[in-house]
Amino acid sequence: MRNLIVKIAAAALLVLAPAMAQAAEGYSTANVNMRAGPSTRYPAVAVIPAGSSVEIRGCLSNVNWCDVEFYGGRGWVSGQYVQAVYQQRRVYVGPEYYRPLGIPMVTFSVGNYWDRYYRNRDFYRERDRWSRGPDYYYRNRDRDYYRDRDRDYYSRDRDRDRDRDYRAREYRDRNRDWRDNDRREEVRRPERRETDTNFRNLPQFRGGKADTYNRPDPRASPFVCRPGDPACD
């Protein structure tokens, strides 16, 4: 019975050892984005300046990405941009240094991780889509983008065709008005020619030009004949 209890306690210690391990201290080697997941396709949540101190909470075993804490915020940074002190020298965090540095190997789940740290972020609303992986998210986002783009193109072409039809109808109405005006002018033209002909037959015109010398002087006094005046005979 005693041996059984010892075995159970040892197994429990082995299971809880990664969780009980202390976080290792690391340093960023460049201005690097701290992201919401272990990939550059996940949203960036903060920028860690070069040389800043971070707490390494754990790293993935299959890819070189680590869960770090920076000024109370949590996120993921590639191990290529994180160094830790090992045997009095700084080394890049890699799988070969996880155990010597006391860094536990962890797993990543969008649901659990985002529920814990990113509930107040805008991208949390699309957690279900992100939970299937960034490739799935961007593939569907691109599909929605092209669908919206095609819809915008269709609306633009429809508006352009409507404007073209409107201009064509406007030109057609304008040309019709011009034809109606020309037709009315054709109807009035004979009367105008007759009026011009009668006007040119007046004594004041000779050869189609006004004769200013034969026009009566409106300032001259009217001539009055007197009885017995020879000019009146």
Q: What is the 3-state secondary structure (H, E, C) of the chain?
A: CHHHHHHHHHHHHHHHHHHHCCCEEEEECCCEEEECCCCCCCCEEEEECCCCEEEEEEECCCCCEEEEEECCEEEEEEHHHEEEEECCEEEECCHHHHHHHCCCECCCCHHHHHHHHCCCCHHHHHHHHHCCCHHHHHHHHHHHHHHHHHHHHHHHHHHHHHHHHHHHHHHHHHHHHHHHHHHHHHHHHHHHHHHHHHHHCCCCEECCEECCCCCCCCCCCCCCCCCCCHHHC
Q: Judge whether 176 lies within some domain.
A: yes
**Domain boundary residue among 86, 111, 127?**
127
* 120 and 139, same domain (yes or no): no
* 139 and 123, same domain (yes or no): no
Q: Judge whether 224 lies within some domain.
A: no
Q: Judge whether 80 lies within some domain.
A: yes
Q: How many CB atoms lie within 10 A of CB 105?
A: 14
pLDDT at 15: 43
* 82 and 52, same domain (yes or no): yes
* 59 and 123, same domain (yes or no): yes
pTM of the model: 0.53
Q: Judge whether 136 lies within some domain.
A: yes
Q: Judge whether 78 lies within some domain.
A: yes
Mean pLDDT by 10 residues, the chain (233 residues): 49 44 83 93 94 94 90 93 91 89 91 93 87 71 59 72 79 79 71 57 52 53 61 59
Q: Judge whether 208 lies within some domain.
A: no
* 171 and 105, same domain (yes or no): no
* 118 and 29, same domain (yes or no): yes
Residue 100: CATH number of its domain: 2.30.30.40
Q: Judge whether 214 lies within some domain.
A: no
* 29 and 113, same domain (yes or no): yes
* 35 and 107, same domain (yes or no): yes
> Cα angle at 16 between 71 and 111, to 5 degrees?
55
pLDDT at 226: 65
Distances (CA, A) of 169 to 21, 93, 174, 181, 217: 80, 73, 9, 18, 58
Token representation of residue 56: 């390494």
Q: Judge whether 2 lies within some domain.
A: no
* 123 and 34, same domain (yes or no): yes
Domain count for the chain, please give it.
2
* 31 and 117, same domain (yes or no): yes
Q: What domain range includes position 101?
A: 23-127
* 99 and 28, same domain (yes or no): yes
